[in-house]
Amino acid sequence: MTRHLGKSVGIIGTGQHYPERTISNHDLSEYLDTDDEWIRSRTGISNRRVADPGTGASELGVPALLQALQNAKVEPNEIDAIIVATVTPDTLFPSTACRIQEKIGATKAFGFDLSAACSGFVFALTTGASMIASGSYQKVAIVGVDIMSSIINPEDRTTAVLFGDGAGAVILSEVAPTFGILDFEQRIDGSGADSLFMSAGGSKRPASLETVKNKEHFAVQLGQDVYKNAVVAMSEYARLMLDRNGLTSDDLKLFIPHQANSRIIEAAAKRLGITEDKVMINIDQFANTTAATIPTAIHQAYQSQRIAKGDHVILTAFGAGYTYGSVLMKWVY
């Protein structure tokens, strides 16, 4: 069953923001048992952007959102809601959405943070679109932002090479019929909870001298488990979007997957029969920025004229939880 929103809702503006500091594979090899060839061959990553210590997610989210507002020709006081997808909020409370709202002067907005790891942006996107389709809201801002350097053990080769920091944002609004979000499907699967996680910092294991000493406030990933499940879920749910809407890979202009690992992206695209020229990849220069990978990829794809009005685009994501899903869109402008 196609998930129709009831109204046509789409993206009318995009933005992004990255920290200035770049860390290359060569930089990492100075203190990790690795080298450029090893990292690139296994992940596709050459560089990543890293924020200065003490930088809050809102500090990256604000300029990304302001750029999206400018591109959409929307004023901050026209925004009805702000949804921030992140697993690295400024603080557990108040929400990062509150901090961003205050900094941009969105005086009419309510909002909240949404935690779905690497699937956070697509979950937030469909949530915001559903709010507009309900008729209660007109303009919703979605921000995907993560400062992964704040929760990555720099001595852990399995995670230190994979992640970067960044923010992307989009503005949602009602659009012309047949454009915008055409269909979506999303799931959570708690059986994967022990494959990608941070063991301390929540109510079960609050921060203590012991948890800090044991380095339990860093992300842990079981790479093979994540790889196998990500390839299957991302390709199957993207395939569902095509099949359910009578489309083939030939009808697709661009496939925008979560930027977890180039091998995951390539394997998923191969299963779908999507050629390399239809796959959006930015992981080589920015690494895995978690909730920011898809909105920044959307922004870069539009800015580089890889998508235009009327093009069919599929977004697909997979993250900790497990969380996963896909969205089919018809580009609005």
Q: Catalytic amino acids?
A: 118, 258, 288
Q: Can you tell me the distance from the alpha carbon of 300 to that of 311, in angstroms, rounded to the nearest whole number? A: 15
**Helix 57-72, helix 96-104: angle, nearest 10:** 50
Q: If DSSP codes are grouped into helix, strand and coil, which group holds residue 29?
A: coil
- Let me know: does 324 contact 235? Beta carbons within 8 Å: no
- The residues pairing with 167 across neighbouring beta strands, listed in sequence order, are 17, 145
Token duo for residue 301: 């794809």
**How many angstroms from the chain centroid is the CA of residue 234?**
14
Count how many residues are written for the chain: 333
Helix H or strand E encompassing 13: strand 9-17
Judge whether 154 and 8 are in contact, CB under 8 Å: no
- The b/e string for 281-301 (b: 16+ C-beta within 10 A; e otherwise) is bbbeebbbbbbbbbbbbbbbb
Token readout for 36 is 């450029």
Query: What is the rounded distance in angstroms from the CA atom of residue 231 to the CA atom of residue 240?
Result: 14
Q: Which of 317, 286, 283, 282 is nearest to 302 (CA)?
A: 282
Q: Which two tokens stand for residue 296?
A: 């920044």
Tokens of 252: 């697709």
Q: Phi and psi of 269, rounded to 5°?
A: -65, -40
- Confirm if 128 and 79 have CB atoms less than 8 A apart: no
Structure token digits, residue 132:
């507009």
